[in-house]
Amino acid sequence: MSWAGDIKSSAETGAHERNYGGMLCPECYADVVTQETGLPACIQTTPRQERMTTLRRPQSLRTRFSGSLVIGMVLGSPGLLPLTFAASWTVKVQPVRLVNGAPVLFQVKAPARLQSLRGTWLGHEISFSLVSASKTWVGLGGVSLETSPGIYPLELSGETSAEKSAAKAAARQISFTRKFVIRRASYPKTEITVDRKFTEPSPDQTKQIDEAKKIKQDFLNRVTPEREWAGRFAAPAVAPISDVFGTQRVFNGKTQSSHLGLDFRVPSGTPVAAMNAGTVLLARPLYFEGNCVVLDHGQGLLTIYMHLSEFKVKEGEQVARGQQVGLSGGTGRATGPHLHVAVRWQGTYLDPAVLIKLPLP
């Protein structure tokens, strides 16, 4: 999978490519072009801009975009056109190829200085923070495992910084929409044998399961507005991976579920480290998860550490990246000692292996 690459607006890439010979539009990965203009569907122009842009077939796409850019630069002053001209925005995403189950790092450069930027992606709110050194707004999101392949929009809305001079316009809203293709990932399938109490629970065990479910519904859906994580997420243990995210599991030939985390092959008693800075949201035993620690990293991002043999933190405690949160074990529904780590973003489970590889600021 590629982890570097820019998705830039038409003015910066210079041209779009038709989907001839398997080529995709580098702007939004669109597979087709519109029949009316020969341009990809992601290109958004106002009726006024369309009338001013020559669309004769003999012209190259580069010539068309150059003409549109000049017109946009001339008319982009206040009072003529709103600050929504698409050619002025730049959006980067990592990973470049978006699939179901993957976290996504959005990096945005706006056409004006902004006081704030927010986004909407797959029905979720994206919180953006400004990286002053690069003048780039960054936000972390994700694609749920259940998301179907298709084209989905990222809707951005920002508030410009007010000018110092009273004669200048006050702060105002600007917006932009960029579309992305989401493809279906290929996940493996495996069969596992566990104790029957985990697939055919007794009434008492069903009661324990329901109690644990209520606890998870209460804690795991909380979203704190402030971001606590900083920089890259680290692996919680230095060990081989025994099972990957997204594996389709069949327990005892009956119960089917998706593996919503990453398993590390570690013996019982291995130290487990926090993947990033955060606050201990939960540290207690649950039926399936066993001894479980949940860290809240802010903005709806959680990391979950399961099947522990011992807790090293308490609920409400603030932890740093790399700090020990517990010892690995085999509690809960586990075939043996190992560490299961999950990443949850605003109620959606994401692939921890991809999050660890993202170059987060």
pLDDT, tens only, 129-181: 999 999 999 999 999 999 999 999 999 999 997 665 544 556 689 999 999 99
* Model confidence at 333: pLDDT above 50: yes
> What share of the chain has pLDDT > 90, as a percent?
60
Question: Last residue of some domain: 183, 203, 230?
Answer: 183
Q: Which of 258, 263, 234 has its CA nearest to residue 328?
A: 263
Round to whole Å and give the CA distance between 361 and 93. Answer: 13
* Model confidence at 326: pLDDT above 70: yes
Residues 229 and 245 in one domain: yes
Residues 203 and 177 in one domain: no
Q: What is the CATH number of the domain that holds 116?
A: 2.60.40.1930
Q: How confident is the model at residue 65 (pLDDT cuts 50, 70, 90)?
A: very low
Residue 1 lies in a domain: no
Cite the DSSP H helix spans in the chain: 10-13, 47-52, 61-75, 203-219, 352-357
Q: Residue 247: which domain range? A: 189-357
Question: Last residue of some domain: 152, 183, 214?
Answer: 183
Residues 341 and 322 in one domain: yes
Question: Last residue of some domain: 183, 218, 249?
Answer: 183
Round to whole Å and give the CA distance between 75 and 78. Answer: 8
Task: Report the predicted TM-score, pTM, of the whole model to 2 decimal places.
Answer: 0.73
- What is the reported pLDDT for 280? 98
- What is the reported pLDDT for 195? 81
- What is the reported pLDDT for 47? 41
User: Which of these ranges, 183-197, 198-212, 228-242, 304-318, has the smallest mean pLDDT?
Assistant: 183-197
Sole residue written with tokens 């809203």: 173
SS3 content of the chain, % helix, strand, coil (to 5): 15, 35, 50
Tens of pLDDT, residues 275-287: 999 999 999 999 9
- What is the reported pLDDT for 131? 95
Number of domains in the chain: 2
Distance of CA 34 to the CA centre of its chain: 29
